[in-house]
Amino acid sequence: MPNGGLINRARRNIFYKILSESTRILPALLFIYIARKLGDEDFGKLSFAYSFVGICFIVTDFGLSTILIRNVSRQKELTREYVGNILVLKIVLSFICISVIGIFILLTDYPADVITLLVIFGCVMFFKALIDFFCTVLNAHERMDLEAFLKGTNHILLFVSGIAILSVGYGLLGLANVFLVAFSFSSIIGFCIVDVCIEKIRPSFDLKFWRYILRESLPLALSVIFTVIYFKIDVVMLSIIRGSDSEIGWYSAAMRLIELMGIVPALIVSALFPIVSSLYKESIGSLKGVYKTSFRYLIMIALPIAVGTLLLSEHLIYTIYGEEYAKTIPALKILSLALIFIFVNYILMNILVAVDRQMTNAILAGTCVLVNIALNMCLIPHYGYLGAGTATVITEVVLFALGLHYVAKYICKINIVAVASKPLISVAIMGTFIILATARLNLAFVIVLSALTYFTCLLLFRFFTNEDKIILMQLIGKQAH
């Protein structure tokens, strides 16, 4: 495939992914408002319920979404068979997850309000699983415009109704019901979009296909299960080991900001995934080029965000959450160190799946879950939520090292020193500027000027190649001369 064709597809996909993912700022702002409005204890309860239910519902994906995108993006004629069967399969898996939540409630003695939250968010996650499925179908057909509409509708509805319900004083349980209404309504919209614009949805019960797709997706299912456990288990272990809703609130407030920053690599990699999946069959050389370029840009973007978060954490927490969350500051400082690896790990893990190395992906994810749980068990009893943050950083470093090794083995090597040296020097200069300017300037000015300092340094050090300039011109729709 010509390079221009790749650029045009990437430009369209990334534009709509940015549009789609940019609306995630609304739920993020809602969670900030929730944290300020409810206080650390109730916010801790909400975070525990959301994390625990999220772990229970990992089975609903079972790697099916990635398999659907990978296979349907290669052969569009598979759409009807995949959509009809996987939809029914996801519904069956969802009811199994709801049963698990019910058993947990019967066997534990959590307070009544926490149990009510678990029940409501169990239903929320069912509808969220349906929305994610419809977005997967749209991704497979590279209809990121429709995905942006669906996600945007969901996020706007959740944001507006959430703010309204808290403003009139309904509190935690009222807010949980808002989540339920917003996600159920959005799932209906998603069904209609796929049914009208992509393929008529006809539920299917092809047991032969079910056996095939479950066997095919098992390695990815393990990877998804391990990944979700890894991202959610720290909050659950904090609840079990420490039993402090306030600690969970402090830690979750920091993690919300990290997750918000993680939107950047998520949208880039998800926009490129259908392309690299098809390139594996069409042009290995082009696939290597996309991987190397993506790696360079993710490193370039991650470094200033990580360093800026580290140095400005106190100002960020006081500005966003208020003084009640002062104990979130050390957690954010620790977690900011993981950002560099979080960014790059997105491309490392997804590129392995794109080249049909999902078993390797699963092994890496499983290894990191074991590492994370072991570290949490050792650190949380002594250091609480700060121990959980430290475990997250170490686990991301382990995943980066393993991912880099296997991508080098199966695809191509990356010269880390060559890729990161100029951004590292530039970010060191930027960090010095932040330290000197923070006491004198407004936070917003510091952020803007530090970003300008960083990118000016990159230009002076000639980080951007002629090929980068050509790609940029094509991405913004101009002819390069």
Q: What is the mean pLDDT of the chain?
A: 83
Both tokens of residue 60? 């609903």
- Asked if 232 and 52 touch (Cβ cutoff 8 Å), the reply is yes
In a domain, 271, yes or no: yes
Cα 384 to Cα 404: distance, rounded to the nearest angstrom: 31
In a domain, 468, yes or no: no
pTM of the model: 0.71
pLDDT at 160: 93
- Asked if 220 and 65 touch (Cβ cutoff 8 Å), the reply is no
Burial of 218 (0-12, 13-18, 19+ CB in 10 A): middle
In a domain, 460, yes or no: no
Cα 126 to Cα 180: distance, rounded to the nearest angstrom: 10
In a domain, 419, yes or no: no
Per-residue pLDDT of the chain (481 residues; tens, 9 = 90+): 445 555 566 666 667 667 776 777 888 888 888 888 888 788 888 888 888 888 788 777 777 887 888 788 778 888 888 888 888 888 888 888 888 888 888 888 888 888 899 999 999 989 999 998 998 888 888 787 888 889 889 999 999 999 999 888 888 888 999 999 999 999 999 999 988 888 888 888 888 888 888 887 777 777 777 777 777 788 888 888 887 778 888 998 898 888 888 877 877 776 666 666 666 666 677 777 778 888 888 899 999 999 999 999 999 998 888 888 899 999 999 999 999 999 989 888 878 877 777 778 778 888 988 999 999 999 999 999 899 999 999 999 999 999 999 888 887 788 888 888 999 999 999 999 999 988 888 888 999 999 999 999 998 988 877 666 655 554 444 444 4
pLDDT at 205: 85
- Asked if 152 and 19 touch (Cβ cutoff 8 Å), the reply is yes
Three-state secondary structure call for residue 1: coil
Cα 122 to Cα 9: distance, rounded to the nearest angstrom: 37
In a domain, 340, yes or no: yes
- Asked if 439 and 315 touch (Cβ cutoff 8 Å), the reply is no
Structurally, the chain folds into a number of domains equal to 1
- Asked if 315 and 443 touch (Cβ cutoff 8 Å), the reply is yes
In a domain, 451, yes or no: no
Both tokens of residue 362? 């699963």
- Asked if 63 and 217 touch (Cβ cutoff 8 Å), the reply is yes
- Asked if 357 and 316 touch (Cβ cutoff 8 Å), the reply is no
- Length of the chain as a residue count: 481
In a domain, 351, yes or no: yes
Cα 150 to Cα 156: distance, rounded to the nearest angstrom: 10
| DSSP of 360-405 | HHHHHHHHHHHHHHHHHHHHHHHHHHHHHHHHHHHHHHHHHHHHHH
In a domain, 238, yes or no: yes
Domain that holds residue 59: 3-414
pLDDT at 476: 45
The answer for residues whose C-beta is within 8 angstroms of residue 285's C-beta and 6 or more apart is none
Both tokens of residue 408? 């080098």
Q: Give the number of other CB atoms < 10 A from CB of residue 451.
A: 14
Both tokens of residue 125? 């996650």
